[in-house]
Amino acid sequence: MAKTIIDMKGIVKKFYIGQPNELTILKGIDLNVEEGEFVSIVGQSGSGKSTLMNIIGALDRPTEGEYTLDGVAINQAGDAQLSGIRNSKIGFVFQTFNLIPRTSALKNVELPMLYASVPRGQRTARAKELLEMVDMGERMGHMPNELSGGQKQRVAIARAMANDPAIILADEPTGALDSSTGRLVMDLFHRLHREQGKTIVLITHNQELAEETQRVITIRDGQVVDERRINHEVLPPDSFFKGQQDEARQEEQSL
């Protein structure tokens, strides 16, 4: 039986509690994600998906309900423990990359391991290995402003993998990219899922991207309104993407 990584029961999130403008964003969310799943959470702007992402990522706490992340009861965790959980159990990939300026790709990938007190030699070797994995080995000494959008996102994915997290949480990871570069980034997620068995939660408003995952969860007005599984066999093979990958890489290399 598969291990449950995310277990949410009755998650409610309110803001301005007790004030005239009290606002309920999440209205009793139940969500389970098993180890090794590739799941998408789909919703339009204002649906509550960003608030839900913040709670999944232990960036915020629910007002009501119970959340267990990889065996840890988030409701009962202190701030210091939550910080450790975010660094060790969750790999974040954001739409805006969130790389540190004036810091090389290599140092950006090393950063989560620095916070985890990994020895210097070990974290540098791991960072180099991860950058090679995302086809960024030749650019590991480059600063973020010397990289294209797709290259920045690949560095961000390498950084997300630094501490071998239980979950990769990707928030609109292709939103700032053109279609061919976004295709390359999505294929990288497929590789991480298929070859390394990574649990991936994709937050998106893009229904086409959501259809590539194993399970699509749709939220609207703070509630889950639909959930369905996708047949693995309908997912495109790597060869489907090869032409677009090559085109995207040639475009990046010309920068």
Express each pLDDT in 162-205 by its tens digit. 999 999 999 999 988 988 889 989 999 999 999 999 999 999 98
DSSP 79: H
- Low-confidence spans in the chain with pLDDT less than 70: 232-255
Helix (H, G, I), strand (E, B) or coil at 30: strand
The pLDDT value given to residue 241: 42
The pLDDT value given to residue 144: 96
67: in domain: no
95: in domain: yes
This prediction's pTM: 0.88
Domain that holds residue 249: 35-58+78-253
As given in the structure block, the two tokens for residue 68 are 């267990």
44: in domain: yes
As given in the structure block, the two tokens for residue 166 are 């239980």
5: in domain: no
| Whole-number Å distance between alpha carbons of 134 and 55 | 28
* CATH number of the structural domain spanning residue 191: 3.40.50.300
> Going along 89-187, which residue ranges are E strands?
90-94, 167-171
The pLDDT value given to residue 117: 94
**DSSP H/E element including 50:** helix 49-56
The pLDDT value given to residue 253: 54
101: in domain: yes
| Whole-number Å distance between alpha carbons of 69 and 73 | 7
Q: What are the strands of the beta sheet with 223-229, ordered from one edge?
A: 90-94, 167-171, 199-204, 38-42, 215-220, 223-229
16: in domain: no
> How many domains does the chain fold into?
1
123: in domain: yes
**DSSP H/E element including 42:** strand 38-42
15: in domain: no
**Amino acid identity, position 251:** E
